[in-house]
Amino acid sequence: MFKGNKNIMRYFLVVAGMLLMLGFVYATLRIVIFPSFEKIERQKAAEAIEKCEMAFNSEMSRISAMCHDWGIWNDAYTFAQDGNPAFVESNISDQILDGNQLNMLCITGNDGMIRHAQLYDLETKTNFEFKDLSDRKVGGDFLKMLRLPTTKSSLKEIISTEKGPIAAVSYPILTTRGEGPAKGVMLMGRFVDKRLIDEISRKTGLAVEMVPAEPGSATTGKHSELPETGKYRMSELSPSFLKVEWTAKDINGKPAFSLSIKFRRDITIQGMATIWLTMGILVGLGALFTVIVHLSIVKYISLDRPVGRQDWSMGHKLLVAIIILIGFSMSTILFHVLKKNEADILFKDFERNEAGPVAVRIQQKLDSLEGNIDSVKSFYSSSEEVTREEFRKFTAGTLDKNKDIRAFDWVPLVLRNEREEYERKASQELKMEFYFTEKSPEGKMVRTGERDEYFPVYYFEPRIGNRESAGFDNYSESSRKTILDKARSSGERGLLINLNLVQDKVEKAGFLYYQPVYKNNMPVSNAEERTAGIKGFIVAVFHMDDLMDSILSDANRRSMVLEIAGRGADRKDKVVIFSSRANPAGGPGQNEFIRKFDFGGRNLVVSCRPTAGYIAGHTGDTPLYVMAIGLLLTVIMAMLVYLHIRRTIEEGEKQYRLLFEEMMSGFALHEIICDEKGVPVDYRFLAVNEEFEKLTGLKAANLIGRCVLEVLPGTEKFWIERYGKVALGGEPIQFEEFSALLGKYFEGRAFSPGKGRFAVVFHDVTERKKNEDALLHAASEWRTTFDAVSDAVWLLDVDQRIVRCNRATLELTGKDFKDVLGKHCCEVMHGTKQPLDGCPVLRMKKSRQKESQELKIGNKWFLVKVDPIFDDKGEISGAVHIVSDITGRKISEEETFKLEEQLHQVQKIESIGRLAGGVAHDFNNLLTPILGYAEVLKMDFPPGDPRRGQIDEIKNAAERAKDLTRQLLAFGRKQMLELKIVDLGKVIVNFEKMLRRTIREDIRIELDIPDSIGKVRADVGQIEQVMLNLAVNAQDAMHKGGVLSMSLESIRLGEDDLNDAEGVLPGDFVCLAVKDTGHGMDKDILDHIFEPFFTTKQMGQGTGLGLSMIYGIVKQHEGHIKVFSEIGSGTTFKIYLPVSGEEPADAEMARASVKSNRGSETILIVEDNQVVGNIASLLLNGQGYRTLVFENPEECIRFVEKGSDHVDMLLTDVIMPYVNGRELYERIHKKRPLMKVLYMSGYDRNVVALHGVLEKGVHFLQKPFTVESITEKVRETLDS
């Protein structure tokens, strides 16, 4: 069988190579691939224990929801306050705890005292005690559960007790509306015991065990530890099982208990089986290749041929090609088989662990929604008439537990003759104007036209956020009418999808679920009877996105592409109603999970596909590794065959006679061939050496005895002519030429050894030519790169002349190369012969280091950087000069500076506001007696007495101080406003009369007031003050007279219009424009115009607070002000006030009639400032009132409690020591319920508001006051 030692060596090498290859393959599979199986296995184990954690957290959420429901219950709120035992008897028992799976229910006060504690063991059905809850006061770790940051906060913690860990939840006790103050804390909890662990096992389908938090318990047993996977701990129990643990921590951060599962190691077991299967396949492939190679070598390659040359034959090439083709094909097929198997397993896991549970939760959620709607329907069906309050109470619980439901509506059938009564009744109940509405073609809500039947939104809960839908007639839209008619006649539910809800402020797909309700005892056996017997519809309003947000976790969104499509009753018209909008891994139908069910009369199709991220995280690289190993084996086998064939050929080559072995150059001897005219037309090869073959790539066997045009038909003609002259003339030549046929450069010498013959000695100079070309190419690339730089780059000599520049220089200067090169850099850059001051080139020469400078040329900024170039001696021989356009950066810096200036302005305004608020109280208390006593003194002097004028000067000075305080408060947005719904047009018309008496006669006042303009909420006095200040400023700007115009217009402002209006929301506004024809202002003045104390008037002619006060008043009205002015073109101020949807009351629009402020009632005055109290008493006594003054609130309370005198009104300061004005009135009111109250204060509105005095209907007097203001307010309060 063997043919000598060569065959033995051949078989030995084949067997050794196979064994080495198998060892390499096994090591690769075991070291590279097997860890990926272990990684997937640990990931699956972590997902399994994560389910246990989520199940435990779900139980905590259930207890939290129950605690929340009990915590916002009026009965519990009352019990926490007064401890009524009837509440416990009727609501708290062992049966309640048993039914709700609770071990603890505890109600405490804010002081930590226990109002009631019910402790019940679910296993033994007996009561027990906790030492921390046994002394009627909460102690230990339970006390930490009472520390809730806010009334909206709750705590969910695990507490370690003497009876084991307990999952506890605390929630503040509030009213049913969730209002405070909190009266205590509701505590609920459940033991983490076998009963709870069994429930978690049932929910997860896993055998869960609880491990107590004891030292050493988490790592007991004979098993090896694995690296921790996130928050889970894993250890190897055996080759077949992993132990996975999750440790829960108690309220102190210490381990409370651990949940543990045994995870079967099916993945690594299957992985090892896959590795051995792959090994078997690869061994089979190797054996097959070995047989093919052996047979092929025996057939096509022989080592016993006679001495001579062997070349690569077609058989050799075909053998290598077949080996490569078979190996590549087998590897690719194996890859796809393993990949398909991996994809099938992945999709089954995806369906079981991801898509299936999500589809079930979606169906359960929608079934729950239908159940809630059915309960409301049953409520209506069982009642003759349901009131609005009954509807609110019945739906409140459902809405509270289902935050993803936008609203419940009651849509009754209303006939034409019933419409007026329905609208009147709803207006009374809602305390707002209510009428049936529909959408106009422009999208606005307008009154519904006359029709025989209406289906308006009559009841709607919750009201907040849904008022826009009140009265909306569902019959006014074709899509809603179609659904209503269909549900009405069929008696079946109707679902309207993907529409814009009336109450939505932003575009969002809304859904309406209609449930028909029929009149009591009405026959509904056919369509006609159902149509006639309809009572109305229960409508659930929701967004599918909100429902899905409550169902889908972040992990679900990362793992799947979810789409819900709805079909009508005909199952044809498919409409997508929800899509998670993730990128799917494949097209529709590829690895897609489908679940169908009915909802609202539609067939819903839920489809889930795994995302690319999920696939990447749940698949390994095993198929790729297997294919790579197969391809590697194929290449190795092909290389072995190739090397064997090549070695055989080389052995033949060694036996061939070497020609001209010592020659290092190529050599060839030729014979020239001429035609009958003696003209050279061809030449024949006589001999070539081995170097010839290497240089040309031509084989001697294919050349000797053959003509060049036969071997190389494309040989250039000039070679034949040149060699013909040498062979026939005998004159040698030297040449360096490129051979197009061979693709090489040759340099050589041709000579004639005899008549008709020539010999050529040559060598290959291709590499040298390539290097020369490379140098030229490199120079070209440097030039291209130099020109590609976007900055202007110059190379300067020692004299600062430009010796080289790039193309960016031409774009920068607008000049050509010839106008730049050789010129001085300052001449090109600045057009000067001498360098400018601070020239960076001159500074570089001095510092011998890099210098830079920023320059502004025209409207652009440039950065000039200069780097020195040193010669071998360390002397500066030139420089690199770079010019960069930094205009964009400088503009950004200027914008940043402007923003910083705006921030500084805001901070300055805030500082002045705080200063004004701080001094207002004391300053106003000082001004009050000055103004009061001035008026009293003035009354003591008869008219015409010169001393009355002196007193007027005192009064005027105090009034100016009062105005100054008011201006500071207005600028700081802290003054008191009396906001009313007003028509600005009427305000301006009424104010014009006073304004004409104030402004000089040479100034013409023009008004442009539309007939109809939007109403605004404003303080009329402050608006008049704004107009007066603007008018006075305009008068000062028109020294020679002019025109002062005031106009109004309605305008809508968007977000782009309000970029510079902080805190102003987009919407509809009324624009008040005040324009003058004065001298105008420049930009510098406009930049500071609203700053406090900034004025252009001379010293003593202005405080600089007028426009600052206007700015503050506008901002207090939630408005915006703009100013437009140019020198010589006048000034225009535009004030934008938001439009209010309310209408002004006639009483508020009319001026109060003049009446007497005198009276004889008894008034209690309580003021801790004795001087202020005395002047108030003096002023009121002068108007006929009887007053009693108290400096201490407690003295006033004791006086009232005696009950000796009749008192009509209390006049009290708001801020006083120990007892404030509001508390004083509340204590007195219990004794004197008919007594009126008037509050007074010198503090700013923020401080007063904190004490509840600025509420609607409360009378308030601002200090300092005059006799007119105090008597008017007193009379108003007594007459109210």
Question: What are the tens digits of pLDDT across the range 987-1033?
Answer: 898 888 778 877 888 899 999 999 888 889 888 878 888 888 889 88
Q: Give residue-wise pLDDT tens across range 1093-1102.
A: 667 665 555 5
On whether the CB atoms of residues 1242 and 1196 are closer than 8 A, the answer is no
| Rounded mean pLDDT, 110-126 | 89
What's the pLDDT score for residue 106?
Answer: 92
On whether the CB atoms of residues 988 and 1048 are closer than 8 A, the answer is yes
Closest Cα partner for 1274 from 1222, 1224, 1209?
1209
What's the pLDDT score for residue 294?
Answer: 58
- Between 275-284, 819-828, 1168-1177, the lowest mean confidence (pLDDT) is in 275-284
| Rounded mean pLDDT, 1220-1237 | 86
The CATH number assigned to the domain with range 1162-1279 reads 3.40.50.2300
- Between 386-390, 743-747, 893-897, the lowest mean confidence (pLDDT) is in 893-897
Q: Return the top range by mean pLDDT from 108-117, 525-534, 1017-1026.
A: 108-117
pLDDT at residue 191 is higher than 90: yes
CATH class of the domain comprising 356-612: alpha beta
Domain 54-201 classified CATH 3.40.605.10?
no
pLDDT at residue 1221 is higher than 50: yes
Domains 789-885 and 1162-1279 share a fold: no
What's the pLDDT score for residue 308?
Answer: 38
pLDDT at residue 187 is higher than 90: yes
Separation of CA 370 from chain center: 33
Question: Is the model more confident about 128 or about 764?
Answer: 128
Q: Return the top range by mean pLDDT from 267-281, 923-937, 1062-1076.
A: 1062-1076
What's the pLDDT score for residue 1154?
Answer: 44
Domain 666-770 classified CATH 3.30.450.20?
yes
Q: Give residue-wise pLDDT tens across range 741-775.
A: 777 888 888 988 888 899 888 888 888 777 777 77
Closest Cα partner for 563 from 623, 605, 600?
605
3-state secondary structure of 540: strand
What's the pLDDT score for residue 1047?
Answer: 93
Question: Is the model more confident about 1258 or about 1278?
Answer: 1278
pLDDT at residue 7 is higher than 70: no
pLDDT at residue 570 is higher than 80: no
Q: In 3-state terms, the chain is what percent helix, strand and coil (to 5)?
A: 45, 25, 30
pLDDT at residue 303 is higher than 50: no
Q: How confident is the model at residue 907 (pLDDT cuts 50, 70, 90)?
A: low
Closest Cα partner for 257 from 310, 316, 212?
212
- Between 191-205, 1000-1014, 1054-1068, 1263-1277, the lowest mean confidence (pLDDT) is in 1054-1068
What's the pLDDT score for residue 1147?
Answer: 43
How does the average pLDDT of the chain come out, rounded?
Answer: 80
| Rounded mean pLDDT, 969-982 | 64
pLDDT at residue 234 is higher than 80: yes
Phi, psi of 1202 (to 5 degrees): -65, -35
Closest Cα partner for 410 from 437, 436, 391, 432?
391
Domain 789-885 classified CATH 3.30.450.20?
yes
pLDDT at residue 311 is higher than 70: no
Q: Which residues of 36-70 are buried (b: 16+ CB within 10 A; e: fewer)?
A: bbeebbbebbbebbbbbbbbbeebbeebbebbbeb
Q: Break the chain into its structural domains and give their ranges.
A: 54-201, 356-612, 666-770, 789-885, 979-1148, 1162-1279
- Between 178-192, 267-281, 702-716, 1133-1147, the lowest mean confidence (pLDDT) is in 267-281
| Rounded mean pLDDT, 455-465 | 88
What's the pLDDT score for residue 334?
Answer: 75
Fold for the domain defined by 979-1148: Heat Shock Protein 90 (3.30.565)
Residue ranges with strand state E in 568-623: 575-579, 593-599, 602-610
What's the pLDDT score for residue 1101?
Answer: 55
Q: How confident is the model at residue 29 (pLDDT cuts 50, 70, 90)?
A: low
Q: How confident is the model at residue 447 (pLDDT cuts 50, 70, 90)?
A: very high
What's the pLDDT score for residue 659?
Answer: 42
Q: Give residue-wise pLDDT tens across range 324-354.
A: 887 788 778 777 877 777 787 788 788 877 8
Neighbours of 671 (CB within 10 A): 15
Closest Cα partner for 59 from 176, 208, 177, 175?
208
| Rounded mean pLDDT, 266-283 | 72
